Amino acid sequence: MSENPFATVTDATSVSRRDLVTGTVGLIIAGVSGAASAASETRGRSPLGTQAGVIGLGFMAQVDQVGPALAVYGYLTLVNGLSLEQLYLPGPERSEATARFTFHGTASVDSLQSHDTLRVANATGRFEYFMRDFGGASFDSADSFAQGQLIATDDASMQNVLNVTAPDTAVTTVYADLMRTTVNAFDVDGHRYQLGRMGLRSRLEASGKGVRTEPATPTAVLVISGNITNPT
């Protein structure tokens, strides 16, 4: 597992006062200029997952690695502001197959360090979040998570810490800094929402297992679960 990297997401541009007026959640409308117009267009919109100091989003995900290229995809298991019932579409079970909110992203490994059984990889990339009107996502197909209405995007800067426990097998812990770069309104049960706000900075933490399937390239699969919080 010594050649198995994984990492994600950069963030960090400061938001100007104009951006805060015309670009934040509740005030962001494409093609609208001026705070009054933006406010009237977004009246009634409720931001989700923005409360500081608590879990904003929970998720289940898979990461596929081929060399330095990463595909990250999964579904939201918790959204602060929505009920558990609102996170899933009708179906026999609550899983990726019935998830209402899914995400898909790509990233590229920038650096890799190792010492003893530890491997530390850093990567940067971009995530997209979707709201679906139908189920059918499957971890057998990464593209199946990139379907539905695009509701938000994040720039991401990630770090993956692998502790190799057996040949080609490791315990993995993932950290990421996220910054919201796109927010689009959506409706659930007759109410209008937004996932976060423009410029929102969040912290992702997750853990799971990594398995290297081919050492030369290298090729690996990580299965992780975790949450996203907003420090401030």
Between CA 147 and CA 112 the distance in angstroms is 32
Domain boundaries, the chain: 49-229
In this structure, are residues 207 and 163 in contact, taking their beta carbons and an 8 Å threshold?
A: no
**Of 130 and 16, which is predicted with more confidence?**
130
Mean pLDDT check: name the lowest of 10-19, 85-94, 146-155, 184-193: 10-19
C-alpha separations of 117 from 94, 163, 176, 222 in Å: 36, 6, 22, 17
pLDDT at 44: 57
In this structure, are residues 153 and 194 in contact, taking their beta carbons and an 8 Å threshold?
A: no
Q: How many residues does the chain have?
A: 232
Between CA 175 and CA 185 the distance in angstroms is 28
Range 1-21 average pLDDT: 39
Neighbours of 87 (CB within 10 A): 19
- On the question of pLDDT at 127 being above 50, the answer is yes
Measured between its terminal Cα atoms, the distance across the chain in Å is: 37
Range 86-96 average pLDDT: 93
- Angle subtended at Cα 193 by Cα 191 and Cα 199, rounded to the nearest 5 degrees: 170
Structural element, H or E, at residue 38? helix 35-42
Q: pLDDT band for position 43 (50/70/90)? A: low
C-alpha separations of 58 from 61, 76, 102, 120, 187 in Å: 10, 6, 11, 24, 20
